[in-house]
């Protein structure tokens, strides 16, 4: 009997050749949550019809279409390269198994994808919601003590279709195995750091909703219109004045998050960060805690600010 709940949900993506022209998805990941929806504005006339106390049917029409929302995943040990390509824009691959995929900030013009989400109804039918022209506006990767590593994505798209056939979800070896906090370590300025949790965020600076023109209810392709912004916040204990002095002295340091589950299952994110504050606060009798907010900056190149390296069994991230 078919499942009639979220147990039957699925998500798949594939890079498009032409922005906004849907393709059949073929890269799948276990779905944690999603809020990707289509919203359609309603336009109402301000005109007066003599004697009318209620809006007439002829006085309203459908308006702009907005496709956007979050996608929640865990960071899986395999199969994540395609997501990272659309998060960053530039990728190079070396090796012959395991493979090393290096991602850095790059051109996002060709980084658009079709996303199909299977949403189960209570009759046991998994309804296919196929979103075309999707781009990643921003992302958040978090590793916290005692938890699995998570990846959240903020997605914008062009259009929704519900008549496309549901693709068959397949998961390769390790594609459903998430990294955990036990795989994660952090180094600051070349030295191991005691970190309770770290949240990395990326904002791709895409202009989306403002790109609307006469003759179409859909957005035009979101284009880069602002600087990329990569930030992080570390949860630490107040061990000494070292972290606070990095802030007070306007220092820049290497901050490296290593998530290592073996030679063919690794994610290393290397950043050069500016400290934006790190003053401890006393909130009771417990150990004094310290939050360290930082921003990634590059001395001369974008890759100098941040790179992400995935080592896995995937021959190609695309």
Query: For 255-276, what is each residue's pLDDT tens digit?
Result: 999 999 999 999 999 999 999 9
**Residue 69's pLDDT band (cuts 50, 70, 90):** very high
Give the rounded percent of residues in the chain with a pLDDT score beyond 90: 93
Which pair of structure tokens corresponds to residue 2?
């078919």
Q: Who has greater pLDDT, 107 or 209?
A: 107
Instruction: Tell me whether residue 56 is in a domain.
Output: no
Mean pLDDT of 171-182: 92
pLDDT greater than 60 at residue 174:
yes
According to DSSP, residue 96 is labeled S
Instruction: Tell me whether residue 283 is in a domain.
Output: yes
Instruction: Tell me whether residue 106 is in a domain.
Output: yes
pTM of the model: 0.95
Instruction: Tell me whether residue 110 is in a domain.
Output: yes
Mean pLDDT of 235-254: 94
Instruction: Tell me whether residue 317 is in a domain.
Output: no
pLDDT greater than 70 at residue 298:
yes
Which pair of structure tokens corresponds to residue 231?
């930030």
Give the per-residue pLDDT at 270.
98
Instruction: Tell me whether residue 117 is in a domain.
Output: yes
DSSP H helices, 44-185, are: 81-88
Which pair of structure tokens corresponds to residue 236?
């630490």
Instruction: Tell me whether residue 54 is in a domain.
Output: no
Q: Domain of 19?
A: 6-42+62-166+173-210+219-312
With a CB cutoff of 8 Å and minimum separation 6, the contacts of 47 are: 59
**To the nearest whole number, what is the mean pLDDT of the chain?**
96
Number of structural domains the chain divides into: 1
Give the per-residue pLDDT at 1.
56
Mean pLDDT of 85-110: 95
Instruction: Tell me whether residue 51 is in a domain.
Output: no
Mean pLDDT of 141-147: 98
**Residue 73's pLDDT band (cuts 50, 70, 90):** very high
Write the CA distances from 226 to 78, 103, 207, 267, integer angstroms.
Answer: 32, 20, 8, 27
């Amino acid at each position: 009997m078919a499942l009639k709940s979220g147990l039957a949900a699925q998500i798949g993506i594939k890079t498009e050749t032409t922005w906004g022209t849907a393709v059949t998805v073929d890269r799948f990941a276990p779905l944690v949550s999603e809020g990707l929806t289509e919203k359609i504005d309603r336009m109402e006339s301000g005109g007066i019809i003599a004697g009318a106390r209620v809006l007439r049917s002829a006085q309203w029409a459908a308006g702009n279409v907005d496709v956007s929302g979050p996608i929640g995943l865990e960071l899986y040990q395999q199969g994540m390269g395609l997501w990272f390509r659309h998060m960053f824009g530039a990728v190079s691959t070396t090796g012959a198994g395991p493979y090393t995929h290096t991602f850095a900030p790059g051109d996002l013009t060709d980084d658009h994808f079709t996303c199909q989400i299977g949403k189960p109804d209570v009759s046991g039918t998994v309804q296919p919601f196929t979103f075309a022209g999707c781009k990643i506006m921003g992302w958040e990767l978090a590793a916290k003590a005692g938890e699995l590593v998570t990846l959240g994505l903020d997605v914008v798209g062009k259009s929704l279709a519900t008549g496309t056939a549901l693709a068959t979800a397949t998961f390769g070896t390790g594609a459903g195995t998430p990294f955990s906090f036990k795989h994660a370590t952090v180094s600051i300025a070349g030295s191991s750091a005691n970190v309770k949790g770290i949240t990395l965020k990326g904002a791709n600076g895409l202009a989306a909703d403002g790109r609307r023109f006469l003759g179409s209810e859909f957005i035009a392709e979101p284009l880069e219109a602002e600087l990329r912004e990569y930030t992080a916040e570390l949860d630490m204990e107040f061990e000494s004045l070292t972290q606070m002095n990095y802030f007070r002295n306007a220092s820049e340091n290497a901050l490296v998050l290593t998530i290592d589950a073996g030679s063919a299952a690794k994610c290393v994110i290397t950043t050069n960060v500016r400290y934006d504050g790190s003053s401890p606060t006393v909130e009771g009798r417990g150990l004094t805690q310290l939050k360290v907010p930082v921003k990634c900056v590059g001395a001369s190149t974008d890759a100098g600010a941040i790179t992400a390296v995935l080592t896995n069994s995937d021959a190609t991230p695309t």
